[in-house]
Amino acid sequence: MLKKIMMFILVALTLNFTACSCNEDKVNDTRKDLKEFYGYSEISGKDTYIVVCDGNKLGMGFKEDGKVYVPYTEYRKNIDNKCYIDKNENMFIYTTANNIYDSYVGGSEYTDIDGNSSVYDVQPSLEVNGEYYVCLDFVKEMGKKVEYKLVEEPNRIVVTSIFENKVASATKDTELRIDASDRTDILTSVKEGDKLIFVEEKEEYTLVTNSDGVTGYILTSAVGDFEANVIDRAEKPDEYSHFVMDEKVCLGWHQMEYASGNDKLGELIRDAEPLNVISPTWYKLLDENGNIESLSDANYVKKAHDKGIEVWALISDFVYNDNDEFMITNVISHTTSRRNLIKNLMEDVKENDIDGINVDFECIGIAVADDYVEFICELSVFCRKENIVLSVDMYVPTSFNEYYNRETVLEVADYLMVMGYDEHWSGGDSAGSVASLPYVEKGIVDTIASGDSNRVVNAIPFYTRIWSETPVEFAEDGSHIVEDNVKGSYALDSRAVGLGTAEKELDKLGINKFWVEDLSQYYAEYEDGNSLMRVWLEEEKSIGAKLDVMKKHNVGGVACWRLGLEEDWVWDLISKYVNE
């Protein structure tokens, strides 16, 4: 009897295990509701559509009067940051390479850069329930490289903005699934011969997008080989042209606070044989209406031109308002003041026969990132129209300044100037090199990833810093204190000195310097009273290493901050660099 019971239990367990195994191996045939998958939500009072671009959901849009509208924020972020809404003045602006189209949100009339008015079939932009929407048909007609089609069940606006991809055909009838497993829900069916766009490969599955914009996983064995594909368009987008020098740029910044600084031009360029561009710091904001204070001098420009040197006048943003805020924030976030700033710059440039504008905006906060990009886009149109070079100064790329949007700036401007220095800066929490070679090279590599390396110019320092670290008990009141659990808290200070100055001081004190291979710089330290003095030298060998890296990455030239701090030998190095 016991034997029979044991046999019964064994059979039951076997059957149960078999049932579980079959369950685990069962292919999931559940179809996911696409409305649920895309997170469909109704736009009150509108013929609502899900918006999908290049296989990715962009939110909800709608169709009205035969035209389609897509959500502004997602459209700008993911597809086209040449469209811009000024919420302060209720304006919708679309910028192309050679034109600027202005309209009011909800209005159908728009004007171009020359003030010519037109009326569109519908409103180029709308505000619905507090959200902004852009008419996709309008931006298409203005030159944006974008296409769309309408798909049903559920209603979708399927947008294409990427026109180069990899495409293959399905080799059999199958399905697209939510994830790389046949146990996940089915999104849609695929028929043999259907064209599929490659996204990424994942083990036995490949992530693809079908012609209706649905992105899902397909068995790799069920799709053919992917091949490069270019989608041809009958309408060609408005392409950006650029003013690029026939030779490498060698720019020197001429810093000045007063008009009397213009008298020093001859002295500054006397030995600077390779210099072909000079950028005087002539412009700064006067108020929040976009008016400027100018130190420009037509005679200065003529003298530079007589020496074969172009003048790219610099506009900076280091000006505060009465609330101790940077003026630039309010200037660029209001169309009236932003356009007034552009108008004032262009009038001064044309009046003085200036060759270009150099934008040095270093006080841009993330809150006005879109306004900054819009300023550069609009300014580029006016510069292109007047045959004036536009160059823009940028920090070395980090995660903290991505919002400066190098890719767009490099697309619309003629040159992007990488400020390859201030790796360690006055007021920071550690002493160190102003521009070590790894820092400089990473800045170049990360910048040229955004576009044409021939229009990227790397700026080198004509200065270094002599640092002092003073134990807190000996520090002066008001000193910048660094808390250090290892060596104790100390006051950190530094002073910037020109090329050669620090080395001369070390020689005078009899201090030895040591080459640090990893940094491609000489280092020295010594005691001065209660303070430890430290210096990472900028000298002939370190500057030469930077120029070699610039040549290696084929950048468009060199910029120098600033004229008047250099030693004679630097021009020999730069001459060799620009002439090779």
Residue-wise DSSP of 65-117: TTEEEEEHHHHHHHT-TTEEEETTTTEEEEE-SS-EEEEETT--EEE-TT--E
Encode pLDDT of 403-453 as tens digits. Answer: 999 999 999 999 999 999 999 999 999 999 999 999 999 999 999 999 999
Q: How many domains does the chain have?
A: 3
The enclosing domain of 545 has a CATH number of 3.20.20.80
Residue 524 pLDDT > 60, yes or no? yes
Q: Is residue 66 part of a domain?
A: yes
Number of H helices, E strands in the chain: 14, 35
Do residues 395 and 312 both lie within one domain? yes
The mean per-residue pLDDT over the stretch 17-38 comes to 76
Q: Is residue 506 part of a domain?
A: no
Q: How are beta strands 227-230 and 215-219 bridged, if at all?
A: unpaired
Q: What is the pLDDT of residue 188?
A: 97
Contacts 24+ apart (CB under 8 A), 424-430: 424/465, 426/465, 426/493, 426/494, 426/496, 427/480, 428/492, 429/482, 429/492, 430/482, 430/492
Q: What is the pLDDT of residue 13?
A: 44
The mean per-residue pLDDT over the stretch 465-488 comes to 95
Type of residue numbered 450: S
| The pair of three-digit structure tokens given for residue 278, joined into one six-digit string | 């000079």
On the 0-12 / 13-18 / 19+ scale of CB atoms within 10 A, 472 is middle
Residue 6 pLDDT > 80, yes or no? no
Q: What is the pLDDT of residue 19?
A: 45
Encode pLDDT of 298-350 as tens digits. Answer: 999 999 999 999 999 999 999 999 999 999 999 999 999 999 999 999 999 99
For 94-108, 146-160, 227-241, which range has the lowest pLDDT when averaged over its residues? 227-241
Q: Is residue 158 part of a domain?
A: no
The mean per-residue pLDDT over the stretch 535-560 comes to 98
Do residues 225 and 258 both lie within one domain? no
| The pair of three-digit structure tokens given for residue 377, joined into one six-digit string | 């886009």
Q: What is the pLDDT of residue 235?
A: 55
Q: Is residue 325 part of a domain?
A: yes
Do residues 308 and 268 both lie within one domain? yes
Average pLDDT, the chain: 94
Centre a 10 Å sphere on the Cβ of residue 483 and count the other Cβ atoms it contains.
Answer: 9
407: containing domain = 249-462+539-579
Going by C-alpha positions, the residue among 444, 440, 442, 398 that lies closest to residue 538 is 440
Residue 15 pLDDT > 80, yes or no? no
The mean per-residue pLDDT over the stretch 250-254 comes to 98
- Whole-angstrom distance between the N-terminal and C-terminal Cα of the chain? 99
Q: Is residue 49 part of a domain?
A: yes
Do residues 186 and 214 both lie within one domain? yes
Do residues 112 and 190 both lie within one domain? no
Looking at the chain, how many residues does it have?
A: 580
Residue 222 pLDDT > 60, yes or no? yes
Do residues 105 and 187 both lie within one domain? no
Q: What is the pLDDT of residue 12?
A: 47
Do residues 112 and 179 both lie within one domain? no
Q: Is residue 471 part of a domain?
A: no
Residue 170 pLDDT > 50, yes or no? yes
Domain boundary among 202, 230, 258: 230
Do residues 293 and 403 both lie within one domain? yes
The enclosing domain of 187 has a CATH number of 2.30.30.40
Q: What is the pLDDT of residue 22?
A: 47
Residue 18 pLDDT > 70, yes or no? no
The mean per-residue pLDDT over the stretch 529-535 comes to 97
Q: What is the pLDDT of residue 238?
A: 63
Q: Where do the DSSP E strands lie in 351-462?
A: 356-360, 389-395, 415-419, 456-461
Do residues 221 and 109 both lie within one domain? no
Encode pLDDT of 73-129 as tens digits. Answer: 999 999 999 999 999 999 999 999 999 999 999 999 999 999 999 999 999 999 999
The mean per-residue pLDDT over the stretch 380-408 comes to 97
Domain boundary among 151, 182, 212: 151
Q: Is residue 514 part of a domain?
A: no
Going by C-alpha positions, the residue among 527, 18, 576, 557 that lies closest to residue 245 is 557
User: Is 347 in a helix, a strand, or coil?
Assistant: helix
Residue 231 pLDDT > 90, yes or no? no
Q: What is the pLDDT of residue 580?
A: 86
Do residues 283 and 401 both lie within one domain? yes
Encode pLDDT of 256-313 as tens digits. Answer: 999 999 999 999 999 999 999 999 999 999 999 999 999 999 999 999 999 999 999 9
Non-local CB neighbours of 314 within 8 Å, separated by 6+ positions? 253, 279, 280, 281, 282, 283, 357, 358, 359, 360
Q: What is the pLDDT of residue 234?
A: 52
CB contact at 8 A, 71 and 58: yes
On the 0-12 / 13-18 / 19+ scale of CB atoms within 10 A, 163 is middle
Q: Is residue 551 part of a domain?
A: yes
Domain boundary among 107, 127, 151: 151
Residue 148 pLDDT > 70, yes or no? yes
Do residues 50 and 70 both lie within one domain? yes
DSSP 189: E
pLDDT confidence bin for 529, thresholds 50/70/90: very high
Going by C-alpha positions, the residue among 10, 120, 22 that lies closest to residue 65 is 120
The mean per-residue pLDDT over the stretch 468-476 comes to 96
Q: What is the pLDDT of residue 239?
A: 81
CA separation for the pair 327, 98 (Å, rounded): 28
Do residues 392 and 448 both lie within one domain? yes
Q: What is the pLDDT of residue 3?
A: 47
H or E element that contains 338: helix 335-351
pLDDT confidence bin for 232, thresholds 50/70/90: confident
Q: What is the pLDDT of residue 233?
A: 61
